[in-house]
Structure 1
């Protein structure tokens, strides 16, 4: 069912044109994009889509999924294809695997995300786990197709070969670019006939493996994507190998419930606070209820406020802090350079000062 007022929040109802089973617990879903929306859905390699549906209880269900298709050249229609892996108890992923069919309408937000790579010459690498392959597949395929002077190394970790998403697409990349695409596969629960022994790709293992595979210091961009533990271990391994922070880009797909919040709790949160926010060129001011996030404050008055996961992971609710101070419960979406520049995640932010101002349009 398509939600009312979809277009006000950057959503448009799109028709499902394909549902392909990838593994027992994952599918690739393709959406048809009408000509009048081609420019709105022209994505950068590595960006994601927020999908929204209204469930049987009338509740709004949103989830974010990365686009796996290469970015289309200018003048060609965009290809919207996302990979969805079932999560235990997942309201949208279960629906996608069991019910979603060709011809269905789904609210789809216009592409977002900064986990991207504009094609350019150079040597790049990615460390991914599970469904973390999805955005990196788009990044690598676009880069290798458009830039003949680029090389890409993909280091991927999966449980078993049968659980590995996009096996054929990655093999096709290797066939088309044998001299410029390096593939390293590690299975955590299954031995391979050739290649690396089984086991998890943790910090210790990556610290030894990466220098043996690559000239670590000359890699121009590292792209880490997947579960929190893998991304955290890879980032620490790269830091230990002397890689500049600016060359490391991260996108988290799953955070364990016990993860530690970012930032110190506010000891003296104001008893009364007011939020002023600018969204789609219109500003408003509202009181912040005790304990609620700034995103929830905006949503009480503006249903078009951007969000998807509400967990500090996707970055859809990113806003610029114009005035005042806030604390974020956690942040798994913004790069250090973004927080230093003044950006916050509205879904994780609480006021520390009586007056706070956000700009969602910057």
Structure 2
């Protein structure tokens, strides 16, 4: 995909802002013809957005694309879901100030929480705004692959807080025999369906075998808050699902939660060599600095968004040397085994470290 691995942003015009719930909106961006190839996306990917705050500082956030993919000439529009986060500068701006005609800067689509249309049986466990990338996956899969089926298990606080309620209902009406929908509410009783309560590990371990043949599902997609995703992963592990069939994307991690790699001694000083868009450079790493921070001091176009180890925008291949990652909520085990790291969370262990952002 053109432009998918570098940090370039392009200004895109806001074509629509649709209220979904009291605390969420769907934002649609118009893509001009000359950028449609750049913004071609795989269902499940996200966009990094950028804006300047009133004090001139830069704010970056990532939001998942919710529309179907596969436009032959690239997408004319990009639609994403934004839920208000307490204290969140960008989400507050999107819900309270963003209007049609405004311009938003967007990086090319990125992310590996994806599913290309293929025959098979797939399932997802999502919580809250975790429905956003899965909505893109389901709508693309069922429209393009007649031999595919999908089971969507979603958890929301209340019916009124459920994002994309009508869109999911429309998909169920369109594909009644191929989309199995299970809705749970944690803070409200339903007249029909499952009793209220959280989808924790114990409940999912009992529930999933009753809903579908767990062992024959070709791919599981877990998306939402950290607790729900981790509980679902443990439930699937207890049910014997191979780790390679489970794909995760976490939308929110409390600051106290850690997913650090094994503790090792960090080199106080060192140097990082980085390749980005075919150009390489070598720069010193200051005390306590992440590799991303060292690269950004010299290459402002280095890709990043959350800087919290969640979005995966700063993913890079570790060519040589050794690093320690503080947190990793974005890379799957096979990516780490293959040599990929999150630059925003990586600190040098050896004096020389080489990263390649282009791989």
TM-score of the pair, normalised by structure 2: 0.97
Identify the residue that residue 56 of structure 1 maps to in structure 2: 54
Any residues of structure 2 matched to 1:170-181 within 5 Å, and which? 170-181=168-179
Any residues of structure 2 matched to 1:187-266 within 5 Å, and which? 187-266=185-264
Tell me if the contact between 2:39 and 2:74 (Cα under 8 Å) persists in the aligned partners.
no
Identify the residue that residue 104 of structure 1 maps to in structure 2: 102
Q: CA deviation at 1:76?
A: 5.7
Could you give the per-residue CA deviations for residues 172-221 of structure 1, whole angstroms, max 9, x where no partner exists? 00000000000000000000000000000000000000000000000000
Structure 2: how far apart are the matches of 1:292 and 1:155? 41
Structure 2: how far apart are the matches of 1:296 and 1:78? 35
Structure 2: how far apart are the matches of 1:294 and 1:209? 43
- Stretch moving more, 304-313 or 65-74: 65-74
Identify the residue that residue 3 of structure 2 maps to in structure 1: none
Identify the residue that residue 269 of structure 2 maps to in structure 1: 272
Q: CA deviation at 1:266?
A: 3.1
The alignment's C-alpha RMSD in Å is: 1.1
Structure 1 residue ranges without an equivalent (≥5):
1-7
Does 1:343 pair with 2:340?
Answer: yes
Partner SS state of residue 205, structure 2: helix
Identify the residue that residue 304 of structure 1 maps to in structure 2: 301
Could you give the per-residue CA deviations for residues 139-177 of structure 1, whole angstroms, max 9, x where no partner exists? 000000001110000000000000000000000000000
Q: CA deviation at 1:358?
A: 0.3
Identify the residue that residue 313 of structure 1 maps to in structure 2: 310
Could you give the per-residue CA deviations for residues 116-144 of structure 1, whole angstroms, max 9, x where no partner exists? 10111110000000000000000000000
Equivalent in 74, 84, 87 of residue 86 of structure 1? 84
Structure 2: how far apart are the matches of 1:336 and 1:76? 31
Identify the residue that residue 3 of structure 1 maps to in structure 2: none
Tell me if the contact between 2:226 and 2:251 (Cα under 8 Å) persists in the aligned partners.
yes
Structure 2: how far apart are the matches of 1:77 and 1:159? 33
Identify the residue that residue 285 of structure 1 maps to in structure 2: 282
Partner SS state of residue 210, structure 1: helix
Identify the residue that residue 352 of structure 2 maps to in structure 1: 355
TM-score of the pair, normalised by structure 1: 0.96
Structure 1: how far apart are the matches of 2:251 and 2:38? 25
Structure 2: how far apart are the matches of 1:256 and 1:29? 26
Structure 2: how far apart are the matches of 1:67 and 1:271? 40
Structure 1: how far apart are the matches of 2:259 and 2:349? 16
Could you give the per-residue CA deviations for residues 35-80 of structure 1, whole angstroms, max 9, x where no partner exists? 0011111111000000000111110100000000000331363430
Equivalent in 109, 131, 134 of residue 136 of structure 1? 134
Identify the residue that residue 114 of structure 1 maps to in structure 2: 112
Structure 2 residue ranges without an equivalent (≥5):
1-5
Any residues of structure 2 matched to 1:41-80 within 5 Å, and which? 41-75=39-73, 77-80=75-78
Q: CA deviation at 1:257?
A: 1.5
Partner SS state of residue 40, structure 2: coil
Structure 2: how far apart are the matches of 1:276 and 1:20? 44
Q: CA deviation at 1:261?
A: 3.5
